[in-house]
Structure 1
Amino acid sequence: MSNLQYIVREPKIPSQNPPLLILLHGYGSNEHDLFSFAEELPEDLLIVSVQAPLSIGNGGYAWYSINFDEINGKFSDLKEAKEALDAIAGFIDDIKNKYTPNPEKTFLLGFSQGAILSYSFSFFHPNKIQHVLALSGYINTELLPENISTDIKTDYYCSHGSVDQVLPVAWARNSKPFLDNLGFKNEYSEYNVGHGVAPQNFFSFKKWIEARL
C-alpha cells in the first residue's frame, strides 16, 4: 500500500466506474492547492489530490529536492524524482483498486514540479494514464526512460505563463516539438501570467477534460 497522503472529491454524479483525475501539486505546496479546482470541474469525476512525500517546512512539500550550490547552480535530485515516480505509480494502483474507476479514463494533472513528473510518468509507465495535463512545467530530458515507447496513446494538454519567473517559458515551448516528434497528440498554449494558472487557462483545460469524458 502507498503511504502518500491524499484528499478526495467523490463524484457528484455517482457511477460504478467513474473517470479518475489525479492532481500533483508543485514544489513547496500541498494537496490542498490544486484541490481548489475540484468544485468547478465536471461532476462525474473522481478527483484525488496527492501530497508529495518530502516535507520542506511551513506546510510545504516536494516530490524531489531542488538543490543550489555555487558550482552546479540549481539542480534537481533525479534519484528522488525517480523514487517519486515509483511512489505515484503505486499510489495510482491503490486508488484504482479502492475506487474501481474507469480504466480507460484516467487523467493526471500536474502543476510545475507536478507537471514535470506527469510528463515523465507517462513515458516510464506507458498508457497507465490516458490523459496528461501539464501546467507550468516542462519535459525534463534527464528524467526520461532510455527508450520511449512508440505505442503510447496518451494525449497531452500543455500550458505555461508567458512571463513565468520560476520556470522559463522557453523550456515549456520545447514540449510541443518533443511530443510532435514522437507522434503523440498534444495541445500547447500560453497565457499572459507568471507562475500560476490564469482563469482562461482553467476554463481551457476544463473544456479539454470535458471533451474526453
Structure 2
Amino acid sequence: MSNLHYIVREPKIKTEQTPLLILLHGYGSNEQDLFSFAEELPEEFLIVSAQAPLSMGFGGFAWYSINFDDINGKFSDIKEAKESIHKIAIFIDEIQAKYQTNPDKTFLLGFSQGAILSYSLSFFYPNKVQYVIALSGYINKELLRTEMPSNIKTEYYCSHGTVDQVLPVAWARESKPFLDNLGLKNEYSEYNFGHGVAPQNFFSVKNWLVKNL
C-alpha cells in the first residue's frame, strides 16, 4: 500500500479506455495546488492529485526533505526521495486497478519537486507511465539508476521559467540533451516567468495532453 492521500476529478467524457493523469505537487504545497488546473484540462481524463507523505505543518507537504548546513549548503535527502518514488509507483498501480484506467495512457505531471521525481520514476520504473510532464523541475543525477534502461518508450514535455529563482533554468536546460542522448522523444520550452506556471505554459501543456490522448 502506498498510503498516499489523494483527490479525484472523474472524467466528464466517459470512454471504455479512460486515460489517467496523476499530479505531483511541489515542495511545501499539497494536493489542492495543481488540482486547481483540473477543471481546465481535457474532459476525458481521470485526474488524480496525490499528497506527498512528509508533513511540514501548516498544510504543507514534501516528497523529500531539503536540508541546509554550513558545509554542504542546500541538499536533498536522496533516501527519502527514493522512498517517495517507490510509493508513487505503487500508488499508480493502485489507482489504475481501482479505476480500471487505460494502462497505455498514463500521464504523470509534476511541478518542481514533483517534476524531479516524475523524471526519476520514469527511469527507475520504465514504461510505468507513457507520458511525463515536468514543470519547473530538472533531472537530478543523484536520482538515476546506475545503468539506464534501454527500453524506455516514455515521452516528455519539459518547461521552465527563465527567471526562476528557486531552481535555476540552467539546470532544466540539461534535460533535453540528456533525453536526446537516450533517444527519448521530448519537447522543451521556456517562458519569461518565475517558479510557477505561466498562462502560455499552461495552454501549451493542455495542447500537448490533447495531442497525446
Structure 2 gap segments, 5+ residues each: none
Corresponding residue for residue 105 of structure 1: 105
Residue 188 (structure 1) shift = 0.4
Deviations 1:8-57 (A, max 9, x none): 00000122320000000000000000001100000000000000000011
Q: Which amino acid aligns with 2:185?
A: K
Matches within 5 A, 1:22-171: 22-171=22-171
Identity of aligned residues (%): 77
Matches within 5 A, 1:166-185: 166-185=166-185
Residue 2 (structure 1) shift = 2.1
Deviations 1:124-168 (A, max 9, x none): 000000000000000000000111111100010000000000000
TM-score (norm 1): 0.99
In the alignment, is the contact (CA less than 8 A) between 1:22 and 1:47 conserved in 2?
Answer: yes
In the alignment, is the contact (CA less than 8 A) between 1:20 and 1:102 conserved in 2?
Answer: yes
- Structure 2 CA distance for aligned equivalents of residues 97 and 209 of structure 1: 22
Q: Which amino acid aligns with 1:53?
A: P
Deviations 1:68-102 (A, max 9, x none): 00000000000000000010011011001100101
Q: Which amino acid aligns with 2:2?
A: S
- Structure 2 CA distance for aligned equivalents of residues 15 and 52 of structure 1: 30
Q: Which amino acid aligns with 1:61?
A: F
Q: Which amino acid aligns with 1:206?
A: K
Classify the secondary structure of the residue corresponding to 1:121: helix
- Structure 1 CA distance for aligned equivalents of residues 113 and 156 of structure 2: 16
TM-score (norm 2): 0.99
Corresponding residue for residue 12 of structure 1: 12
- Structure 1 CA distance for aligned equivalents of residues 16 and 50 of structure 2: 22
Classify the secondary structure of the residue corresponding to 1:81: helix
Q: Which runs of 4+ in 1 moved over 4 A?
A: none
Structure 1 gap segments, 5+ residues each: none
Matched pairs, number:
213
